[in-house]
Amino acid sequence: MAHQAGAGRRYLRAFVSGFFVAVPITVTCLDRFAYVARVEGASMQPVLNPEGVSECDVVLLNRWSVRNYQVQRGDIVSIVSPRNPKQKIIKRVIALEGDFIRTLGYKNRYLRVPNGHFWIEGDHHGHSLDSNSFGPVSIGLLHGRASHIIWPPNRWQRIKPSLPPNRGPLINPEEDED
């Protein structure tokens, strides 16, 4: 019996020490690389939550891919809300710094996105609190890029960058350099 009790204590000690090593490593990995998030609301319909409130999509947010604040037009990103720093919102990148954009109800009809900012919008116009409400967003609020829909299982897919019809910059500086 003493042998079994000693083995049990060794097992417990190994488990506890492993736990205290594994948890910080896991938290660091999730913080640095990726994590999952539930998408609520109608602002990104029909790409996300096509069924509405009856079934919410869960997405993989890739933090590693945005570590240097690199995003492209059409990416769906998670940002810290400019209106409420305790909340994260998910929207599509429509324009990058230096791009000229025709807004949808912002105080200026046309706008040049300032340096260090980008323009984000929900795909479901009229049901989205986005740059048309609060203006260009600081790139420093970027939190992650949605790379995959992982729930529900029938919607598993990679999310590819794309711009909705008639949205995007009026002048793309990269195309002007030819």
Q: Mind telling me the catalytic residues?
A: 43, 91
76 CB neighbour count, 10 Å cutoff:
26
Tokens of residue 99, six digits? 């791009």
Q: Which residues of 20-59 are buried (b: 16+ CB within 10 A; e: fewer)?
A: eeeeeeeeeeeeeebbebebebbbbbebbbeeeeeebbeb
